[in-house]
Amino acid sequence: LSTWNAQGNVLPTETVPKLPPRFYGGLMQVPIVAPPATPAHSRGESFQNAAGDWIEQRIDGLLGEMTIREKLGQLTQIFSGDAAKDWDAVRAGIRRGEVGAFIWALQDPVLRDQLQREAVENSRLGIPILFGMDIIHGARTVFPIGLGLACAFSPELFEETQKVAAVECRRMGIDWIFAPMCDLARDPRWGRVAESCGEDPYLGALCSAAQVRGLQWTKNRRRSQAACLKHFVGYSEVVGGRDYNESDVGDWVLLNQHLPAFHAGIEEEALTVMSSFNTVDGIPMAANARLLTEVLRDRWKFTGFVVSDWHAVGGLVDWGCARDRAEAARLALRAGNDMDMISGCFLSTLEEEVSAGRVALEEVDQAVRRVLRIKLRIGLFDSPYIRGAKEIPLRRRRVALARRCVAESVVLLTNHGVLPLSRDVSRIALIGPFADDPHEMLGCWAEWGRPEDVVTLAAGLRGALSENVILDVVKGCGANPLAPPLRNGNGGEALEGELRNGFLEAISAASAAELVIMAIGENRSWTGESGSRAELGLTGAQQELFDAVAELGKPMVSIVFSGRPLSLPKVWEKSGAVLYAWQPGIQAGAGIADVLFGDRPPSGRLCMSVLQNIGQTPLYYNHSRTGRPGEGQLREGRLEQAAFWFGHGLTYTSFRYGPVRIADGAGPGAPSVAVAEIENTGPRAGVETVQLYIRQTSCHEGVRPQQELRGFRKIALDPGEKREVAFVLDGKVLGYRSRSGAWKVDAGDYLVWIAPRALAGEPARYFHLA
């Protein structure tokens, strides 16, 4: 246990174990996945025990028998979509031992088992295939996207959702899940912020560890699944937010901002890691030995395997880093990639490279060993088949969890007394392209989600209201101006007509209503991989629709559906309340309705700041102070102020934060604690997410952020109730990763805030003795 690895809530002082810093503290000094002390059989035992001599001996035996071709086969992953073009050829390849893994996008467990049988029964050595798939925020039970769920500030909830995903994947024969996404998101132009847990390394690390626990929750059982930490590393720093691009990220930022979430995942024994598409300091990550080998293997003692991202080995030629595919394979293998995702470079070139002496056989053997180790650790050799499952059923408990996740992840940005809604209303107009579109609710990467499972906002509201209330649902306009011309080949004129032809209906519905709910945002296909944007506004004609409806002056609630924090100044200004709903998954409408009517209190907090305009990008709360703090503003003062900072989120009541006090710890030698009294001063019960921020006022090794989140706790308070919330100020809370990679805690001055969001409240001064 360490405070950072607990569930996000700092433990009561007396229960904080006195251990040397482990997670994000000391990780680079100690082996994370310790070699097992005793040899053990894999069945029924943990990864640690399963990694014993027995597994290594079995690998030795297999390596002794394998031909070079069979070895390279283990390092080769192919895509089921490509394979489907010629199954006979693929089956023949499997029989020759040339397929180590699939990206299994087909929901066909029977075919999956047939192919597995081909490997286990008809290939010379019977080594089973690993079936991997991108299940990022749920398989059939689709939960909110990562960026949404992280706003719940609840690693436990994350863990539960990934457990469900693992169970559902197991039923469909997925052994290897390409999650969690550990990239730190600081640039909303980048489409993949949707999959991330936002801009804070502390929150990100807790969420990544929790996801690994969830995905690999059966690790002590006979059969488990493997998680995959991705994308290692620096991918989110791609220049200008342009996907697949170069990243210019230095060690200080890597160590203290980008690596912690990966490190936390490794500490939870994540079994695999995916190297990323981008460069770091000019070297594509697929060829980056310093990070893939020195950090991941030598410092962190990672014993699982590394898979390259999609075609990233072949991509080394496209980068202009390798001359040809053979050189690409050589560089990638040597850097520390063990499996080649779909480029085929390893299989097609390394045999020749080995026989020409340009690659040592030991280098190939090492990679094969790592792949086989994971297949053995998860019990794939003993239990290669799934036998007979036809589909993933939708279960009541999972659906209830999804609903809770929606309610806890939506963030109430503004509220001028409009929410919670009364049920005592005669007519509501629900307007916008996201009002009743089930596909949109599933979000990016929801390959196995089904629109028919989705409760849209329209359905959620209907379910929450009595039959006497009239609910008019009007789409009003399209959300995506690019999609129609791309689909039907029409030009802009036809599109213009299409986009606006619902305006009149929307305005007449709004005019007749007592209350208007706008369901607006960005199309899901504009988010996720390859979903970079140059603007952060509403897509299509939505802004015009919004403006036209807002003109009517009706009480109006705006619900924003999006995979990134959009900059929507007019929406913030003109709405009576704004609820940010992200891409919420199958229980979208039900969970949102729970919050709108106050059946559940809003408690979500932004895990990524919402900017005023795109010119500010990238802007995040935990930036450094600069040498001239506060002097970099544009004339209109809009450069340094976000519209809503990280940690922001309103409730239906109000909380008073008392001053922060620094008190002695419990008992001799115990670290000091920061304490503040929180009181519910409003009329309703509420859940408050109390946040601990620190600043080290001077640090010689490198500048530290103006504020860093280092703890939080969610507390429920009734009206008038107060509670003292205490956070321990120990080395894990105060320290940072030094340039040597070691965790370091400096003696000196710190500022400490206990506050409802970043950059709020008055700090206390604390002097830390070494």
Q: Three-state secondary structure along 654-682?
A: CEEECCCEEECCCCCCCCCEEEEEEEECC
Q: Which amino acid is at 73?
A: G
9 vs 80, beta carbon nearer ligand NOJ: 80
> Of these residues, 134, 175, 309, 436, which one is catalytic?
309
134 binds ligand NOJ (CB under 6 A): yes
Cα–chain center distance at 512:
42
Instruction: Write down the least CB distance from residue 52 to ligand NOJ, Å.
Output: 30
DSSP 623-653: ----SSTT----TTS-SS--SB-TT----SS
Token pair recorded at residue 594: 């729970």
Instruction: Write down the least CB distance from residue 307 to ligand NOJ, Å.
Output: 9
d(CA 667, CA 683): 39
Residue 658 gets which letter from DSSP? P
The residue written with tokens 């991997």 in the block is 132
Answer for the pair 94, 127: CB distance below 8 angstroms, yes or no: no
| Preceding peptide of 233 cis, ω within 30° | yes
Instruction: Write down the least CB distance from residue 318 to ligand NOJ, Å.
Output: 15
Q: Three-state secondary structure along 77-131?
A: EEEHHHHCCCHHHHHHHHHCCCCCEEECCCCCHHHHHHHHHHHHHHCCCCCCCEE
d(CA 59, CA 570): 62
Instruction: Write down the least CB distance from residue 234 to ligand NOJ, Å.
Output: 13
Token pair recorded at residue 769: 């003795």
Token pair recorded at residue 143: 């939960």
230 vs 605, beta carbon nearer ligand NOJ: 230
Instruction: Write down the least CB distance from residue 292 to ligand NOJ, Å.
Output: 16
230 vs 574, beta carbon nearer ligand NOJ: 230
Instruction: Write down the least CB distance from residue 312 to ligand NOJ, Å.
Output: 9
Count of residues near ligand NOJ by CB under 6 A: 8
105 vs 469, beta carbon nearer ligand NOJ: 105
Instruction: Write down the least CB distance from residue 341 to ligand NOJ, Å.
Output: 7
DSSP 342-388: SS-HHHHHHHHHHHTTSS-HHHHHHHHHHHHHHHHHTTTTT-----S
59 vs 182, beta carbon nearer ligand NOJ: 182
d(CA 332, CA 703): 34
230 binds ligand NOJ (CB under 6 A): yes
Q: Pairing state of beta strands 515-521 and 427-431?
A: parallel
Q: Build a one-symbol-per-residue string for 177-206: x at contacts with ligand NOJ by CB under 6 A, - elsewhere.
A: -x----------------------------
Q: Build a one-symbol-per-residue string for 470-509: x at contacts with ligand NOJ by CB under 6 A, - elsewhere.
A: ----------------------------------------
Answer for the pair 234, 178: CB distance below 8 angstroms, yes or no: no
Integer CA distances (angstroms), 698 to 150, 178, 283, 740, in order: 30, 40, 32, 19
340 binds ligand NOJ (CB under 6 A): no
113 vs 309, beta carbon nearer ligand NOJ: 309
Out of 294, 529, 544, 677, point to the residue binding ligand NOJ (CB under 6 A): 529
445 vs 727, beta carbon nearer ligand NOJ: 445
Residues 39-68 that bind ligand NOJ (CB under 6 A): none
* SS3 of residue 390 by DSSP: coil
Rg (the chain; Cα; Å): 26
d(CA 342, CA 312): 9
103 vs 364, beta carbon nearer ligand NOJ: 103
Instruction: Write down the least CB distance from residue 243 to ligand NOJ, Å.
Output: 9
Out of 102, 302, 305, 310, point to the residue binding ligand NOJ (CB under 6 A): 310
132 vs 148, beta carbon nearer ligand NOJ: 132
Instruction: Write down the least CB distance from residue 564 to ligand NOJ, Å.
Output: 17
* SS3 of residue 219 by DSSP: coil
103 binds ligand NOJ (CB under 6 A): yes
Please report which residue ranges of 192-323 form alpha helices under DSSP H.
201-215, 251-253, 259-267, 289, 315-319
309 classed as catalytic: yes
Which residues have a catalytic role annotated? 309
Interface residue list for ligand NOJ (CB under 6 A): 103, 134, 178, 230-231, 309-310, 529
